[in-house]
Amino acid sequence: MAAGAGSLVAAVLAHSGRLDKEDLGTRIGRLSRRVEELKGEVCTMITKKYSEFLPGMQSAEELVARVDGLSRSVDLLRAGVENEV
């Protein structure tokens, strides 16, 4: 019966928010491990999203460079036409 009473007291204390140091340490340890797991998941997700994003960004940069080149060509042609007229 003493063991049952101890469990009841522990349950009441836990329920009332007064966890002993061991229980608090255990919870902190568990939460710390979960935080580390989540950090890993976030890092993996960021890496995945970046690897999906990078090719599109590189293609966009190439297109911008081509458009800039074409724009310069058009400007040169326009200047040439205006000089002829």
DSSP 1: -
Q: What's the angle, vertex CA 31, arms to CA 30 and CA 35, rounded to 5?
A: 120
> Residue 42 is encoded by which pair of tokens?
């976030």
Q: What is the pTM of this model?
A: 0.54
Q: How confident is the model at residue 9 (pLDDT cuts 50, 70, 90)?
A: confident
> Residue 70 is encoded by which pair of tokens?
């074409």
Task: Provide mean pLDDT across the span 55-60.
Answer: 97
Residue pair 19/13 in contact by the 8 Å Cβ criterion: yes
Give the Cα separation of 80 and 78 in Å (integer).
Answer: 5
Question: Whats the size of the chain, residue-wise?
Answer: 85
pLDDT: which is higher, 10 or 73: 73
